[in-house]
Amino acid sequence: MAWVKEGGHKKLVITGLWTERCMTNTALSALHAGYEVYIITDAAGGGSKETHDMAVARMAQAGAIPLTTAQYLKETQRDWARQETAQNLIAIYEQHGGTYGAGWKYQQTLVAGK
């Protein structure tokens, strides 16, 4: 975490391959070090649903704030009037957002009159 400390960051957004190992150990260490920690729960997985769920509960109990990918992106954007970031976020949703991204593409065709 030296690069985080050197950068002066106070908030961390964490996910990992294994919820109960990579994500939990990192989040608990960061919380212990005084960081505000956000965990992206749908971007990681456990060995089972129970191990994933219990790891998320453990991190939340310790003070981590659980979010989904979509919620994190929407909170980061805050307002669709913020045009300097809106198009990049829409591009992420179109490429990786499943039905939400498909909805964006459809909405754009309606607005554009195509």
**How many other C-beta atoms can be found within 10 angstroms of the C-beta atom of residue 20?**
22
- Alpha-carbon span 93 to 111, nearest angstrom: 17
| N- to C-terminal Cα separation, the chain | 49
What are the extents of the domains in the chain?
1-67, 71-114
* DSSP single-letter state for residue 39: E
Question: What mean pLDDT is predicted for residues 61-69?
Answer: 96
Q: Give me the percent of the chain exceeding a pLDDT of 90.
A: 52
- The yes or no reply on domain 1-67 and CATH 3.50.50.60 is yes
In 3D space, the residue among 63, 56, 61, 51 whose CA is nearest the CA of residue 40 turns out to be 56
Residue in this structure with the two tokens 């989904």, named with its chain if needed: 68
CA distances from 46 to 25, 43, 55, 89 (A): 13, 11, 8, 28
pTM: 0.80
Catalytic (active site) residue 73: no
pLDDT per residue as tens digits for the range 14-57: 999 999 999 999 999 999 999 999 999 999 999 999 999 999 99
- Alpha-carbon span 13 to 102, nearest angstrom: 26
Check 13, 22, 70, 73 and give the catalytic one.
Answer: 22
In 3D space, the residue among 33, 24, 30, 28 whose CA is nearest the CA of residue 12 turns out to be 30
Asked if residue 114 has pLDDT above 90, the reply is no
